[in-house]
Structure 1
Amino acid sequence: MKRAASGLLVVLLTVGALALGAPASAATGTPWADWSAMTGSGGAYTGSVQIASPELTAEYTSDSRAGSVGVVSGASVWLSAATDVGAKYGSSRDQQYLNLRPRADSPTAPSETTYSFSRPTPTRNWTFVLGDIDADQVRITAIGPGGNTLTAAELGFRGGFNYCAPGLAGKPSCTGDAADVPTWDAATTTLTGNATATDTSGAAAWFEPNARISSLTFTFTRRAGFPVYQTWFAAITRTISGTVTDTTAGGPSNGTVVRLIGADGAALGETTTSTDGTYSFPDVLATDGYRVVITPPTGKTSDEPARAVDVTSADGTADFAVRDIVPVPVSGTARDQHGTPIAGATVTLDGQRSVVTGPDGAYLIDDVPVGTHAVTITVPDGYALVSSPSPFTVADNDETPITGRDFVLQQLPSLSGVVRAAGSGVGGVVVTADGPDGAMQTVTAADGSYSFPRLPSGDYVITVRAPEGSVVSGPTSRSETVIALDVTGVDFALARFGSVAGVVSDDGGAPHAGAIVTVSGPGAPVTLNTADDGSYALGDLAPGDYTITVTVPDGYTGAAPLRRTFVITDAGELIEGQDFVLTPAMVTPTPTPTPTSKPTSSPSPAPVGTDAGALPATGAEPLPGLGVALMLLLAGAISVIVARRRRA
C-alpha cells in the first residue's frame, strides 16, 4: 500500500493521523494494540505502544526518515479474520498500526526502530506482524532480559501471507497475489520481499515469540521504489476472578484487598472485593506465573493468602478464605534500611511454622502457644540482615497480641548508568557486569538507563556491546568497585554509522555505469562500481574523515571534481549528493587529403597602356616573348586577307 495510487492512500491516511492525532483507543478487550501519537521529526521519532494492559507495553525510538510515516487508524488497511493471524487474534479492522520508512531511500541507509518493553514479554499468546514487505527487507533482532540474542526459532516465525490476496482481502480495492509473500531467512533473521523488488501490495508475515524479550529491533532497508512498512502488535488476554469467604462469619468477605502479582514479582493491579465477596482482574495476558494475594481485614487472617494462577489456555480462578485470628498472634514487618517493604520473604516461628510477608512487608502467625519463642527470616538474595527481633514469651492465659517483631535488612548497593548516542538515551543495548560472582547481563531501557541491583561487594568490569548500526565512542569497558554505597554514572557513548551516496555522469548529464569510486577513511579503502543509473552508495561508515576519489575511465580526460572529502560525526550523518561529472576527451578529426595540382606562376604586372583589369592567364605555361610577337603578326596578316576578299 505505497507506491503510485496505493502510495496516495497511505499518504492520505498518514497525513490525517498526524494532523488529528492518534485515533481513539481500541475497544476494551481487543487483542490489537493501541499506539500513542508519534512525536519528533525525521531521523528521531519516539512513541509508545500498549499491547496489553498493564503488562505488555513498550517505548520505541526510530530513525526513520519523514514522509508517509505515523500511526494509522486501520480503517482502510487491515488484516482480515481470514488470514492466519486474524484467525487467532481477530480482524484488525479499525485497529491501529504504525507506518515507518528507511533512514534514507538508499540500500546503505536502513532505519532502526527499537521497542523497549516495560517488562519482559511473555513466551506465548502475543504476536507482531510486519506488512508491505515487497521491495524491501527487514532484519529482526530481539534481546532477552539476560542480554541474550534470541534465535530464529525463538522469534517464532509463523509464516508469510498476502493480506490483499483473493479470499483474504479485507476490502474489494485491496488486491494482491497470494504468491507474493516475503521470504524468511532464519540464518540472518531477515524478511525479504519478492525476488524482483517490485512494488506490490499486501506482502506480510507474522511472528509469535516463544522466549522472553526485553527489546525488539527492526532494521528496515530499501531495495527499490518508495518503501514504507507496517507494524501491528496483538495479544490474547484473559480474566482472573474469584471469591473471598469469611469462614468464621459464614459469608462473603466484603472490602478485602486483593492484589495481582506478575511473574517478575511486580504488582500489576489492586482491587477490593464487592459485597458478595467477588473480585476480578480483566484483560490479563494469557500466560502463567501470576499470583493473587489478599490482605485480610483487621482481626482476620488467612491460612493461604496467596494463590498461583495460570491463564494460558483459559480464564483463571483464585478463591480465598479468611477467619478470625486465634490468640496469641505474633506479627511484624520486614523492611530495608530505607523503610521500603520487602514482600515475599519467609518468616519462621521456632524453625517450624512459616509464613510469607505480604506486599506491605507484614507477616502474622496466630495461635502461638504459651512459652518462649523466636522468629527468624530467610534473607532474600541481594539483602543482608541488619537486625532481627529478640525472643518473646507468651504467658499463660494471656491473649494479648504480640506485635512489632520487625526485621530490618540492608539492600546491597547497585551499579547503574546510561548509554547515549548523540546526547539521547539508547534502548536495547546489552551491558555486562563481570564481578565476584561471575558475569551478568542486562538491557538498557528506552531512555538508555540500566542497573545492576543488589550487588555483593567487590571489583567489577562493566562492558557495553554496540548494537547493529552503531559503534562505541570511547572506552567499551569501565572498572568499578562496589563496597557499601550505590555506584552511579557508569555511562557509555555510542556513535551511529553514517553513509555516503552520489552519482557519476558525463558533462551532458548521462549516467556513467561501471565507474570506479574509492572511499578512503577509517578502515581499509573501499572500491565501488556505479550502478546502471550511475549511482553509488556506501553505509556502515564509522565516525571520521573520508575522501572519495573517482577513477577517470578511458575516453575521458578528467572529472569535476576529481576528489571529495566529508566527515562522519558520532551522529552518523547521511552524506548525499557526492556527485562527479566526467569530461569526455576531445577527439581531433583526421584531415581530408588536399588534391595535388601543378604550381602556377605569379602574373606579371600589366604593361603601361594595357587593360589593367584583364584577368591573367591560368592553367598553361606562358609563351616566350618571340612567339607572342609572331602570333600577333600572323593574326594581323590573316585579318587583312579576309578583309580584301569581302570587298571584292
Structure 2
Amino acid sequence: TVFLDLDSNGTLDFGEPSTLTDSNGNYGFVSIAEGTYEVTEVLPSGWYTTPGFDLRQSVDVFPGEASVAQDFANFTILNGSIRGTVWNDLNRDGFRNADITGAFTDPGLPDWEVFLDLNRNKLRDTGEPTVLTDAFGGYSFADLQVGDYEVQEILPSGWEVTSTYSDSQTVAVYSGAESVAPDFANFNLTTATLGVVDGIVWNDLNGNGVRDVNASTGTFTDPGLTGRVVFADVNLNGLFDATEPTATTGVDGVYSIPGIVPGTISIIEIVPTGWRATAPLSASHTIALRNGESVSGLDFGNYAPHDASIHGTVFDDLNQNGGRNTGERGLGGLTVFLDTNGSGTLDIGEPQTTTLEDQFFTPSVDEAGTYSFTHLAVGSYTVRVLVPAVLSATPTAELTHVVTLTAAENRSGVDTAAVFRKNEIHGVRFDDIDGDHLRDAGEPGVEGATVYIDLDRDDSYDPGEPTTVTLADGSYSFSDLEPGAYVVRGILDAGYEHTYPQTTGGTVWPAGTSNPAVGTVTPASITTSLAAGATHRETVSITLPDTGALTDMVDVFLLFDDTGSFVNNSPIVRAAFPA
C-alpha cells in the first residue's frame, strides 16, 4: 500500500488517498492538485526498508504534468526453498523427450536420494538435509536460509550421469522465494544398446565445402579418401583416447564405427598434416546418439592446398651410371606425365608436360631436358617418362618415379637417366632392272642376298665380320653398333652385277668420300686448345700423287677427329683442284 500522507504524521488516516502496487510494483495517483506531497508506503509484517532508501518521498506536483517519485526498495528475512527433478534419460541423448501430447517419455526417477552438501565435500555427512524423490522424480528442500547451496544426487550402482549433465548443482536461495535447480539426468548402463555411426571422408578438390556432382551422370566428382581415421569422442575432450571407438576409411572413403555407448558424443576426423577440413570446418559432428540408434551421413570434406611441385631433368646417360655427369646433355621434346590412375599409360586428363629445349635467351642457364609440375596437392604421385624407340635402352626403373609430397614441398632431382639404343644401319638390296644406278618404281627388292660390314675395308668378306641376309622386300639391318664409320658391302650372287653405289673402297657415307685417303699432309696432325670465341690459324701442305685414283677434280677433306675416318659430325674443309 502507498498513500499520500496529507498531514505528514506517517500514518494512513481516513480520507488520505491510497493505492496498491500492481504485479510489477508500479503505483500511481491521478487528478491531484498542485502542491508538495509526502508519498509514503505501508510495510507488511516481516518486511524492511532497504538501506539507502526511505518510507517517504517528497514529490512536487505541477499543473498538467506527471511527477515521478523515487522508488521504494524493501526486503524480507523470510527463508526460501529449492525444488528440482531427477529423470531417466532412456536413450542417453541428453534431452528429456516428450510425445505429441507433451507428456514426458523419459520418466522421473522415484526414491532417488538428493542431499544438500553443506560442506561441499561430495559426501553425504551426518546432519546434511536429505530427501527422496517422489513418484515423478521431484524433490524439494524447504525453509532454507538465504545463500548458495550445493545440491547433490547419489547415483546407485549401474547408473551414470548423462553427458552434459552433472551429479551436483549450485543453487542460489532468495528470501521468500522458491529456487528451481537444474535437472539431474541419469542413464541405466545395464539397459544400454550400443549404436553405430557411418559416413564418408571425401576429397574436396576445389575446396568449396560441397561434394560436387557431375550434372550429366549424377556421380560425385569429388572422390572418397582412403586411410582416414575417424573416432567417436565419447568423453567430449576433443582428443582421441585409446579406449574410444575408431575406424579407418576404405578405398571409397566410407567408414563405420560400431559399438558406441548412447549419449552425446562427437564424431571427429583426424585431418592429416597438409590437409584442412572444409565440411565441416571443425572436422567434428556432435550428436545425441540414442539407445541402439544408427546414424548415417556424418561426412567430412578435406582439401589439400595445391602449393607443392615436382621438378626434374631427362638426360643422355652416356656412361650409363644412373647419374648426370659433365657433358651429358639434357633431352628436350620428351613427354612426362603424372599417372594419376596408375594405369601405366598416358590417359585423357592426366597432367603432362614436355621437356624443354635449351632457351637461347638464357645463355647462362641450360634448360635442356628439364620439366616441372606445379600447384600439386599433398600426396603420392607416379611420374612417368615416354621415350621414343631410339631411347629404348633406358632402364625400366628410370622411366617411373614415385614421389610423395608434403605441404608446400618443392621436390627437385626427379631425374631420368635415358640411354640411347646401340647404333643401327638399315638399307635395301634391289634389282636395278634397267641398270640406271637408281631404284625406279617397280624395281623389287632382292631376297636372301648377303650383306656384310667390311671391318678391315679390304673389299672382301672375312670370317667374323658381321653379316645379314635381306628379307623378302630386300631390306636388311645391322644393330648394336658402336659409334664410328662402317663400310657396308653386298656379296654379288651369280647372274648379278653391281650397279649402285658406284664406290670402290673407303666409306659409303657421305657421298663423295668413297675412296681411300691418298696423298701426304704436313703436318700430319694439329693439336690445340681454344677458349670460347678464340681462333687458331695453321698452314697445311698437301701433296697429291699424279697417278692412281685421282681424276680431274679432287675433293680434299680435313678430318677434325681422331677416328681416321669421316663421321657424321666431323667438320670438314673441302677444296677442288683442277687437273
Fold shared by both chains (TM-score > 0.5): no
Larger Rg: 2
Between 1 and 2, higher relative CO (CA 8 Å, sep ≥ 6) is seen in 1
Classify the TM-score, shorter chain: under 0.3
Please identify which structure carries the higher helix content: 1
What TM-score do you get using the length of structure 1 for normalisation? 0.22
